[in-house]
Homo-oligomer: A and B are copies of this chain.
Amino acid sequence: MEGKIAAMTQLDLVDDTPQVPPRLGRKRDHTRDPEILDAALEVLAETGYDGMTIDMVAARAKAGKGTLYRRWASKGELVIDAIACMKKNDIDYSRLPDTGTLRGDLIAMIKPHSIEEAEKKLQIMAGLMSMLSRAPELAEAANAAIVEPRASVNRILMRRAVARGEISADCDIETLSLISPSMAAYRVLILRKPVDRKFLISLIDGVLLPAVGLHGQAAHSAE
């Protein structure tokens, strides 16, 4: 302690020790972060925020409770961090489908993997739902990681369709881009029914495309 102060007073003469002395022993690597954050997301999806305990997360990650609290100050901060880190596994906006038609693009977005991931995200959202109004930071993180990306893709695909002249520029893209996120969320969270490829296609052909002035491939064969 005194040594450090003395070294600072005689300014850097022969003093080759850095201002912040080099750590000895093991680095503060926090190498368990990814496993812990993943475990937190799993438990969150299964039991919700209130049902989730720190012990569950620690056990799931085969980590000690101390390790969690050394890294995050509280349960709340761990959860916010876990949510925020989901964004990293997000959509690659530079590789969106480009089939030439809105319908083709929308259907190309339906992949088993994306359905599965969307469902897990919705389960997590369900577990946070009752907290959102009381924890604005959490609501912010959840919006950025779960809600916004889904709508964003739809907006991009629809704007492209407008640019191609495929659909009218009068379309309320803000609203229409939320049709399938809304109805899929309602179906999973409230109706508790599965969202599968067939359902998503029926949404595209039966709701979204008619709303933009196009027609799906099924039904409404008139005109």
A residues touching B (Cβ–Cβ < 8 Å)? 47-51, 125-127, 129-133, 139, 143, 147, 168, 170, 172, 175-176, 178-179, 181-183, 185-187, 189-192, 202-203, 206-207, 210-211, 213, 219-220, 222
Contact = CB atoms under 8 A, between A and B. Distances in A.
B210 A213 contact: yes
Instruction: Identify which of A49, A127, A182, A203 gathers the most chain B CB atoms within 10 Å of its CB.
Output: A182
B175 A50 contact: no
Nearest to A182: B186
Contacts of A185: 182, 185-186, 190
Contact of A172 (B168, B181, B202): B202
Contacts of A170: 219-220
Contacts of A206: 172, 175-176, 211
A125 B48 contact: no
A85 B72 CA distance: 43
